[in-house]
Amino acid sequence: MNEQRKFHRVRMTETCSLSYQSTLYHGQLDNISLNGAVVSFTEPVSVPVGAICLLTVYLKETAPLRLNIEVIHSNNAMIGMRFVPLDEAGQHQLVDLVQRFSTEPEKLASELDILKWQIANYLRAS
C-alpha cells in the first residue's frame, strides 16, 4: 500500500476524535500527510468505507484541527482516510502541522507544489 501513496506520511501521536452520524469515537493519530491520515482506536469502530466523517485532532500548541474525511479502509481498530476539500483556514493549519513534524522538508515542498498545480488546474476547469 505504501507504493500507492502520493504524499509522505509524518508520524504523530496526537489524540483525536472521529464523529460519524451521532457517534463519537476517540483515538490516536498514527500518521498524517497533506492528503490523509491513519487513526487507531482502542475500541471497535463501525464506520463503512466511503463514509464522510469529521476528524478532530487535539493539538497541544494550537486550536484543534477539524478535517472532513472520507474513510478509505477500516478494520475495526484502525481507519485510513483521505481529506475531502478543506476551507482555506483548514488547509493552512494542516500544512503548518505537517511542516512542523516533517523530517523531509524538500519532499514536503515538492508535494505542496503538486497540490498548488492540481488546485490551479481544477479552478481553470470549473
Q: How many domains does the chain contain in total?
A: 1
Q: Which domain holds residue 11?
A: 2-125
CA–CA gap between residue 38 and residue 33 (Å, rounded): 9
Nearest Cα neighbor of 39 from 6, 11, 64 is 11
Give the single-character DSSP code of 64.
P
CATH code of residue 46: 2.40.10.220
Residues 6+ apart with CB under 8 A from 105: 99
Tens digits of pLDDT across the chain (126 residues): 444 557 778 888 899 999 999 999 999 999 998 889 999 998 999 999 999 999 999 988 888 999 999 999 999 899 999 998 777 787 788 888 888 877 777 777 777 777 766 666 656 776
3-class secondary structure, 45: coil
- Stated pTM of the model: 0.80
Give how far Cα 51 sits from Cα of 3, 12, 73, Å: 24, 24, 10
**C-alpha radius of gyration, the chain, whole number:** 14
Contact 49, 76 (CB under 8 A): no
Phi-psi region for residue 123, left (φ > 0), alpha (ψ -120 to 50) or beta?
Answer: alpha
